[in-house]
C-alpha cells in the first residue's frame, strides 16, 4: 500500500492499515499528536478502527510545548 505521509510517498507491506498501526510502524511514541487524512482530522478514539486506503494523504502533527 502506498500512502503520502507528511508530503512523502511511502510504501507499506500491508494491504490494510489503521492509523494506530501506521503510527507504530513509523515509530512515533508521542501521545500528543493529531492526524488528518485528506482534509479530515481523525479523532484519537478512531485511530484503532480508521482504515487507511491506497493513496491516502496523511498528515501527522506533533504538539510541542514551550513559551
Query: pLDDT per residue over 32-61, tens digit each?
Result: 999 999 999 999 999 999 999 999 999 999
Please give the backbone phi and psi of residue 65, each rounded to the nearest 5 degrees, phi first: -85, 160
pLDDT value for 67:
61
Mean pLDDT across 5-26: 96
Q: Whole-angstrom distance between the N-terminal and C-terminal Cα of the chain?
A: 40
Instruction: Choose the CATH number for 2-62 among 3.40.50.1820, 3.75.10.10, 3.10.20.30, 3.20.20.70.
Output: 3.10.20.30
H/E stretch holding 20: helix 19-26
Say what the pLDDT of residue 63 is: 83
CB 60 within 8 A of CB 8: no
pLDDT band with cut points at 50, 70 and 90 for residue 31: confident
- Look at residue 30 in the predicted model and tell me its pLDDT: 76
Amino acid at each position: 500500500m502506498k500512502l503520502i505521509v507528511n508530503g512523502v510517498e511511502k510504501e507499506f507491506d500491508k494491504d490494510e492499515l489503521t492509523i494506530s498501526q501506521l503510527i507504530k510502524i513509523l515509530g512515533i511514541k508521542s501521545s500528543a499528536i493529531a492526524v488528518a487524512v485528506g482534509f479530515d482530522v481523525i479523532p484519537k478514539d478512531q485511530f484503532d478502527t480508521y482504515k487507511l486506503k491506497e493513496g491516502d494523504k496523511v498528515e501527522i502533527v506533533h504538539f510541542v510545548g514551550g513559551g
